[in-house]
Amino acid sequence: MLERIGSPRDLRELTYEELTELSAEIRDFLVDNVSRTGGHLGPNLGVVELTLGIHRVFHSPHDSIVFDTGHQAYVHKLLTGRKDFSTLRRRGGLSGYPDRQESVHDIVENSHASTALSWAAGIARGHTLRGETARTTVAVIGDGALTGGMAWEALNSLGASRDRVVVVMNDNGRSYAPTIGGLARKLDGIRTDRRYENFLGWGKRTFENRGPLRSLMYQTVQHGKRALKGLLTDDGVFSDLGLKYIGPIDGHDQRQVERALRQAHEFGEPVIVHVLTEKGRGYSPAEQDVADRFHAVGRIHPETGLPIEPSRFGWTSVFADEILAVAEERPDVVALTAAMLAPVGLQPFADAHPDRVIDVGIAEQHAVTSAAGLAYAGLHPVVAVYATFLNRAFDQVLMDVALHRAGVTFMLDRAGITGDDGPSHNGMWDMALLRHVPGLQLAAPRDEQTLRQAFRDAIEVDDAPTVVRYPKGAVGEPLPALRTVGTIDLLAEHGDAPRVVVIGIGSMAATAVAAAGKLAAEGIDTLAATATWVHPVPEGLAELVSGAELVVTVEDGLTDAGIGQEWAAYARLQGVAATWSHHGVPREFLQHASRAQLVDDLGLDPSAIADDAIARLTRD
């Protein structure tokens, strides 16, 4: 069946029996291919029938289909002609998210959550203003994304409009983990309410009947659905916003899905279709997994779901271990996260001290400002989040934490170049942004021990924000200091009078050591150095570089306005005459590729850095 599908129009000729066969083939395809490459498996297994229904009822790209976060768009890719998943999330292959360069059917590339409804509101209003009133905009949003404030801002706006928008709420009760909060409890009540269960079973049997009474039965069921709607809307969750509501619908019943979508299409104005789905549907290891390990996977054995290569002890694990140890010592330490309890390493802390870990949902702004409130109340909050997602709460860091001199610690996981997840997941903006925040102190540890110490140092600061950033993946070998100059650690010394000083920031410290070794092999006296606390400028910098001809900085953040440039400006003010050379990430979006490939492209490998230094010395 899958071989016959070249575009969405091919779906409209299929019978429901053929669609059932196609759904099974798609699930087999996803398990087989994603197990080879890694990627978001569970979310896509759960939206097979839903995506088929969307493409049968609506006509993409005439009708715009927007996926919130995009990690549930693999089925959409398959149905729009993209069947080569052999290089998924690899250079030259399919992106792990919608990508405008791949297809006219893709619209939103940003994989940050809770944005789809705002996109849809804007697109639909644009169609209205241009007189394109026959075009519908469809936004597919997971229930977890409804914990984000931006989604509710958009719902508020949509409730005041009459534009053609269909909001498909894919309710599987999870984002990375079980969805939390008041809305989650409300939706949970619908899933478990016996009136809904009885109605859904009776309605399904009714619709499967044939005969002259079918029209009457349909009207009867519609009346029952309106009564059931009160389960959700009695307290004004959606109806008081002015939004029509259809549901809840069994998201794995193809007929029900399409019937609801057609009804929504006929409304011609904003409507919510509430669809219940099961994450990981049709794949036993995912269905039986309560820890949601199959939301995103590496390479796995498809039969068992077990990883092919056990992951090494990573940076996240170091933090998870250290905050749990600190929690036993300091009862004032609390933690917050934005719907990523396990991915950022807070699950062990939450298991041991559930009252001291707060998951606010996909709401980074709320997390940061409520952390300021916790600090005011006498606690020391630790906000653990991916580096790329702190961008969403910069104003709160600046105005709610820094302005109020709140002692809040930010632990930025996946900082720097992350690679496979594409431009929106690279955590390369943080240092350039955060160094402009008054009073903020920022650490970039180089190994396990410096991460543990940096965290402990950070939580001792009670009158300013502190930030500790660290990369994705496994922790490298220890890099002990040979000696220190001020608060700067010397990691390697070649010769008594170094002409070149190579400074590596954070995870690039090992690169600095390797580059210094290559320069020494060419007969150039060189030393390699780093500092754990990189902003404000560490003590001893002017002394360290005063006798050098060339100072080289290497960082996995923006070169422009990064840490290297901050240090160079300070050194010049101190009268240091050395030439400076900065290596980092340019001010552009990096397309998906492995971290190693991106490092090579950007000239951040030791050989490229050493060659550039030699060229500069020769030129000077």
Domains and CATH numbers, the chain: 2-287 (3.40.50.970), 315-469 (3.40.50.970), 483-619 (3.40.50.920)
Residues 464, 409: contact at Cβ < 8 Å? no
Of 558, 572, 566, 564, nearest to 602 (Cα)?
558
Tokens of residue 473, six digits: 């993946």
Confidence at residue 114, expressed as pLDDT on a 0 to 100 scale: 86
Residue 206 — pLDDT band, cuts 50, 70, 90?
very low
Torsion sign over Cα 552, 554, 558, 564: negative
- In the chain, what percentage of residues exceed pLDDT 90? 62
Task: Choose between 181 and 8: higher pLDDT.
Answer: 8
Instruction: Give the separation between CA 498 and CA 606, rounded to whole angstroms.
Output: 18
E strands, 14-155, in order: 64-67, 137-142
Tokens of residue 58, six digits: 């609506």
- CB neighbours (10 Å) of residue 490? 17
Confidence at residue 217, expressed as pLDDT on a 0 to 100 scale: 36
Measured in residues, the chain has a length of 620
Q: What is the mean pLDDT of residues 302-327?
A: 81
Confidence at residue 309, expressed as pLDDT on a 0 to 100 scale: 64
Whether omega for the bond prior to residue 536 falls within 30 degrees of 0, making it cis, is yes
Instruction: Give the separation between CA 288 and CA 215, rounded to whole angstroms.
Output: 40
Of 456, 461, 565, nearest to 505 (Cα)?
565
Confidence at residue 297, expressed as pLDDT on a 0 to 100 scale: 66
Confidence at residue 24, expressed as pLDDT on a 0 to 100 scale: 93
Residue 619 — pLDDT band, cuts 50, 70, 90?
confident
**Is residue 557 over pLDDT 90?**
yes
Please state the separation of Cα 279 from the chain's center in Å: 18
The residues carrying an active-site annotation are: 279, 364, 392
Residues 474, 313: contact at Cβ < 8 Å? yes
Question: Which residues are within 8 A (CB) of 211 and not within 5 positions of it... i.e. 6 or more apart?
Answer: none
Task: Choose between 84 and 178: higher pLDDT.
Answer: 84
Whether omega for the bond prior to residue 480 falls within 30 degrees of 0, making it cis, is no
Residue 351 — pLDDT band, cuts 50, 70, 90?
very high
Instruction: Give the separation between CA 550 and CA 538, rounded to whole angstroms.
Output: 19
364 exposure class (CB count in 10 Å sphere: 0-12, 13-18, 19+): buried
Task: Choose between 463 and 418: higher pLDDT.
Answer: 463
| 424 labelled ligand-binding | no
| 198 labelled ligand-binding | no
Strand partners, 249: 275
Span 261-286, pLDDT tens digits: 999 999 999 999 999 998 888 777 77
Confidence at residue 148, expressed as pLDDT on a 0 to 100 scale: 84
Q: What is the mean pLDDT of residues 378-400?
A: 95
Hey, what amino acid is at 14? L
Confidence at residue 294, expressed as pLDDT on a 0 to 100 scale: 66
**Is residue 497 over pLDDT 60?**
yes
Prediction pTM value: 0.82
Strand partners, 63: none
Tokens of residue 227, six digits: 């009564």
Confidence at residue 229, expressed as pLDDT on a 0 to 100 scale: 42
| 172 labelled ligand-binding | yes
| 364 labelled ligand-binding | yes
Angle (CA) 396-400-404 rounded to 5° is 150
Confidence at residue 592, expressed as pLDDT on a 0 to 100 scale: 82
Instruction: Give the separation between CA 590 and CA 580, rounded to whole angstroms.
Output: 25
| 584 labelled ligand-binding | no
**Is residue 209 over pLDDT 50?**
no
Residues 248, 274: contact at Cβ < 8 Å? yes
| 458 labelled ligand-binding | no
Span 239-264, pLDDT tens digits: 777 889 998 999 999 999 999 999 99
Residue 489 — pLDDT band, cuts 50, 70, 90?
very high
Q: What is the mean pLDDT of residues 534-542?
A: 97
- In the chain, what percentage of residues exceed pLDDT 70? 85
Range of weakest confidence among 243-247, 288-292, 412-416, 489-493 = 288-292
**Is residue 293 over pLDDT 50?**
yes
Instruction: Give the separation between CA 356 and CA 115, rounded to whole angstroms.
Output: 29
Confidence at residue 419, expressed as pLDDT on a 0 to 100 scale: 77
Span 27-83, pLDDT tens digits: 999 988 888 888 888 888 999 999 999 999 999 999 999 998 778 889 999 999 998
CA distances, 556 to each of 123, 370, 495, 562, 606 (Å): 36, 30, 28, 9, 13
Residue 145 — pLDDT band, cuts 50, 70, 90?
confident
Q: Would you put residue 320 in left (φ > 0), alpha (ψ -120 to 50) or beta?
A: alpha
**Is residue 390 over pLDDT 90?**
yes
Range of weakest confidence among 86-90, 414-418, 448-452, 575-579 = 86-90
Instruction: Give the separation between CA 217 and CA 223, rounded to whole angstroms.
Output: 10
Span 166-205, pLDDT tens digits: 999 998 875 445 555 555 555 555 555 544 554 444 444 4
| 112 labelled ligand-binding | yes
Average pLDDT over the chain, rounded to whole?
86
Range of weakest confidence among 220-234, 410-424, 427-441, 538-552 = 220-234
